[in-house]
């Protein structure tokens, strides 16, 4: 299992989730060059330890465990994974 960041993050990119992540698996961080270019944040599925700390930290409720992802947000699973294939 991993966590997926979805549509409500677009235009918000609140980094509260980044601040609470114990393994630094949410990117881009504000200190990374691509932060301004990306429209949302992404969870690295290979690094995520499924702790769940990010989910309650998100002020726009954009983060879901992959098994509880609303059907209309399923495309964000691939979008999150593709970010880390660059």
Q: Which one of 1.10.10.10, 3.20.20.150, 3.20.20.140, 3.30.70.20 gives the CATH number of domain 3-83?
A: 3.30.70.20
What is the rounded CA–CA span in Å between residue 28 and residue 15? 9
Q: Tokens 């409720």 sit at which residue? A: 61
pLDDT mean over 6-32? 96
Q: Tokens 């209309």 sit at which residue? A: 72
Helices (H), the chain: 16-20, 54-57, 75-83
Please report the pLDDT score of residue 86 as a whole number. Answer: 73
Please report the pLDDT score of residue 23 as a whole number. Answer: 97
Domain boundaries, the chain: 3-83
Distance of CA 33 to the CA centre of its chain: 17
pLDDT tens digits along 24-45: 999 999 999 999 999 999 999 9
């Amino acid at each position: 299992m991993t966590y997926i960041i979805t549509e409500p993050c677009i235009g918000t990119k609140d980094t509260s989730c980044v601040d609470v992540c114990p393994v630094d698996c949410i990117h881009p961080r504000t200190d990374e060059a691509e932060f301004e270019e990306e429209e949302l944040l992404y969870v690295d599925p290979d690094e995520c330890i499924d702790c769940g700390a990010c989910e309650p930290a998100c002020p726009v409720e954009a983060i879901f465990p992959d098994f509880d992802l609303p059907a209309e947000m399923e495309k964000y699973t691939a979008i999150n994974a593709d970010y880390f294939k660059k």
